[in-house]
């Protein structure tokens, strides 16, 4: 299957500084463990950040709590939004996708990874498809 037969991928994701700060606060509160959540919106614009507990309670892996994830999906649907992103942290790096992230990418969404760089959280977006990834521009308003 070629890329032309797959879901159209996003080249950018737009979010507000307030939404970014909510993600940073969530991952910072759970460091040194990984933290995660969902991004709901329309098109490529985030309208809501939904935090979900990391059931794995691990510094190097995340598994979304299935009940919280289900409630988040129901909230997204009931508000007429789409799942457009998933975020999680890499508290000790890397600031790019890991082999585990690639292997477990199950949705055609932007994956936002928050990693500490020189003591500060930095967010980067990625599109993961067919065992490969590319960076997606994060537009912060």
List active site positions. 34
71 φ, ψ to 5°? Answer: -60, -40
Q: Which residues fall within 8 angstroms of residue 131, CB to CB, at 6 or more apart? A: 102
Q: Using CA atoms, how far apart are residues 134 and 85, in angstroms rounded to an integer?
A: 15
97 φ, ψ to 5°? Answer: -70, 150
C-alpha torsion angle, residues 99, 105, 110, 112 (rounded to 10): -50
Q: Are strands 36-42 and 120-129 parallel, antiparallel or unpaired?
A: unpaired
Q: Using CA atoms, how far apart are residues 51 and 89, in angstroms rounded to an integer?
A: 12
């Amino acid at each position: 299957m070629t890329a032309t037969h797959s879901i159209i991928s996003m080249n950018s994701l737009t979010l507000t500084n307030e939404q970014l700060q909510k993600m940073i606060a969530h991952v910072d509160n759970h460091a040194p463990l990984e933290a995660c959540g969902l991004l709901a919106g329309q098109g490529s614009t985030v309208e809501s950040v939904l935090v979900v507990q990391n059931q794995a309670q691990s510094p190097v892996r995340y598994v979304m709590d299935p009940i919280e994830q289900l409630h988040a999906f129901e909230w997204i649907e009931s508000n007429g939004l789409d799942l457009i992103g998933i975020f999680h942290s890499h508290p000790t790096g890397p600031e790019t996708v890991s082999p585990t992230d690639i292997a477990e990418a199950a949705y055609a969404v932007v994956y936002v990874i928050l990693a500490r760089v020189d003591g500060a959280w930095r967010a980067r977006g990625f599109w993961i498809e067919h065992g490969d990834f590319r960076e997606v521009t994060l537009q912060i308003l």
